[in-house]
A and B are shown apart, each in its own frame.
Chain A
Amino acid sequence: MILILGIPDEAPVARAIAAAEADGIGHLVFDQRDHLSANLMLTLDPIAGWRGTLSHPKGTVNLASVSGVYVRLMDERFLPDIVDLPADAPQRLRSARFHALLHDWLNVAPIRIASRPRAMLSNMSKTYQAGIIRRCGFAIPETLVTNDPDTVLAFVARCAADGDDVVYKSVSGTRSIVQIFEPADRERLSRIRWCPTQFQRKVRGHDVRVHVVGKQTFATAIRSDATDYRYARRQSADDAELTTTELPPATRATCVALSGALDLPFTGIDLRISPSGEVFCFEANPCPAYSYYESRTGAPIAAALTRWLAGEK
């Protein structure tokens, strides 16, 4: 049996549930909104490690019967029934303890997990992850992180001399909209004195999102005039156009290697293929919202995910 953790009507979770049902894969859905009435009990077995049960309003699950877990949990601090409570409210503290224990089990359970909470943390720093991406064999964009406006202007001038724009975006995992550095940005550049900020030479080429599931890859080509295709309507008035595509075996193998290096058996890798064919990698998303890609291309990502969790090679 596989366990699906999240909000059941959120698109990636809903698609995973539908895929499991379509394939007849035994599954149990834990609705995260039941967090206050749920409990996890763990007992340390000297040989087998942690064993236990997950109790929730619909029943109790013996964790030993679970072969795989799809983890699509939201930050519990923002769950609707506790988001407005004070930080020391008993419900908040109890929810934090439950989620911490759930994460502990997910981090050590000797079964297939997509993906373990600890492994998902690599995305908290894009420059940290970029080092791993580079070691796996992908090119990475020229990147500057600095608190010095003059260094930024010199970088912008150097890229401009090559005919390239510069973009800026968050270093951390906090979602930000990738923006081109425009002349008007010079006026507020002094604000970076407060905190080092990330600037990148814009890589020319076309975007490809690769979802890795175990050893399988699903590549989606993206056509968009926007700097950040996720916000295509806002940045270019037109929606991005997504189609399935085939990648060379070497690129697919590097994607799988990166997924392994990051311990993320289910990941969404953002690539850009330059006009010369060089493959740049921006990041690997640890908990990809694959439904956006699957709904536009028909790539069977959810089916691959649930089959992998059920033990398919």
Chain B
Amino acid sequence: MILILADAHDAGALWLRATLTPLVAMPLVVLTPARLVYARTIMHHMDSSGTHSCFDFGDGTSLHSSSIRGVVNRMSGAPTDHFSSAEPRERLYAASELQAFLLGWLASLPCPLLNPPAPESLAGAWHTDVVATQLAALAGLRCRPFVIDADDPPQSNSTMTGTAHFILDGKVIGPMLPARDRDALIQFAHLWGSRLVQVETCQEEGRLTFLGASSLPHYQRGGPTLVRAMAQVFAT
């Protein structure tokens, strides 16, 4: 099966399930972080030869790591409501333990993940605007000049909307671009560190100008071309 790990109210995940289902020859299941965390039993075993894991749910079903053929990972956090009555120090400890477990579990799955988790975010590589801008400059994208200091924080770029391109395993999906700009986007995605990255740009001074990027893409904007490319990842 292919898992879409996402919150129950994640409209993008539900849209993706509907659009991706006809393109993949296996069941596609939306699994919420709450269902994972509140599983009746959780077992994750690792040694020098490999890793396997199993979740047994309250309704009698199970999820074995060996049965997962692909993951669309939109899990940005884990529920911690069940720790709410604990003392603040224990609550923080338990929350960090849970986060650590989920990071280790996701990273151990031997199937394709879009995207693999990263220590800074379960949903995949994530960078601040300052770092993202540096990566964009290194990749050859034009960046808007700015100056920042601790008393004058920048406005976040992450919500800026321009033209969206999606870079998946080194392929650019979106409006046609000159080869130089396409190569810059591919290089940016490589530096960013996720298999699938959405990059927002605009045209300024005649050049493709970086606005922001995310490991949690807006699939609808990528449309059928993006979804077909994702299906290909899970087919291989």
Contact = CB atoms under 8 A, between A and B. Distances in A.
Contact of A41 (B51, B142, B149): B149
Contacts of B148: 41-42, 101
B44 A144 contact: yes
A42 B105 contact: no
A311 interface: no
Nearest to A124: B119
B99 interface: yes
30 contacts: A39-B151, A41-B148, A46-B143, A46-B145, A50-B134, A94-B151, A101-B149, A105-B130, A108-B130, A108-B135, A118-B120, A124-B96, A124-B99, A124-B119, A125-B100, A125-B103, A127-B105, A127-B108, A141-B47, A142-B45, A142-B47, A144-B43, A146-B43, A148-B42, A171-B97, A172-B100, A173-B100, A194-B94, A195-B97, A196-B101
A309 B62 CA distance: 51
A241 interface: no
A243 interface: no
A312 to B, nearest CB: 26
Interface string A178-208: 0000000000000000111100000000000
Contacts of A44: 133-134, 137, 143-147
Contacts of A43: 145-147
B101 A134 contact: no
B18 interface: no
Interface in B113-144: 117, 119-120, 127-128, 130-131, 133-135, 137-138, 142-144
A197 B131 CA distance: 34
B67 interface: no
Interface of B: 39, 41-48, 51, 82-83, 93-94, 96-101, 103-105, 107-108, 117, 119-120, 127-128, 130-131, 133-135, 137-138, 142-151, 153
Contacts of A107: 127, 131
B93 A174 contact: yes
Contacts of A145: 42-45, 101, 104-105
A121 B120 contact: yes
Given A49-B138, A128-B119, A148 B46 contact: no
Interface string A203-216: 00000000000000
B88 to A, nearest CB: 12
Contact of B103 (A128, A146, A170): A128
A306 B53 CA distance: 43
Contact of B48 (A140, A171, A174): A140
Nearest to B193: A118
Contact of B149 (A42, A143, A171, A195): A42
* Highest count of chain B CB atoms <10 Å: which of A46, A131, A144, A195: A195
A126 interface: yes
B52 to A, nearest CB: 11
B128 A100 contact: yes
Contacts of B145: 43-44, 46
Nearest to B38: A147
A24 B153 CA distance: 37
Nearest to B86: A194
Contact of B97 (A42, A47, A143, A172): A172
Given A144-B45, A195-B94, A49 B104 contact: no
Nearest to A147: B42
B97 A151 contact: no
Given A128-B107, A171-B101, A121 B41 contact: no
A82 interface: no
Given A41-B148, A101-B150, A144-B44, A128 B130 contact: no
A291 interface: no
Contacts of A195: 83, 94, 97-98, 101
A97 B127 CA distance: 15
B97 A170 contact: yes
Nearest to A142: B47
A97 B46 contact: no
Contact of A104 (B130, B137, B146, B147): B130
B157 to A, nearest CB: 12
A40 B99 CA distance: 31
A124 B100 contact: yes
Contacts of A127: 44, 46, 100-101, 103-105, 107-108
Interface in A105-160: 105, 107-108, 118, 121-122, 124-128, 130-131, 134, 139-148, 151
Nearest to A140: B48
A144 B120 CA distance: 24
Contacts of B137: 44, 46-47, 49
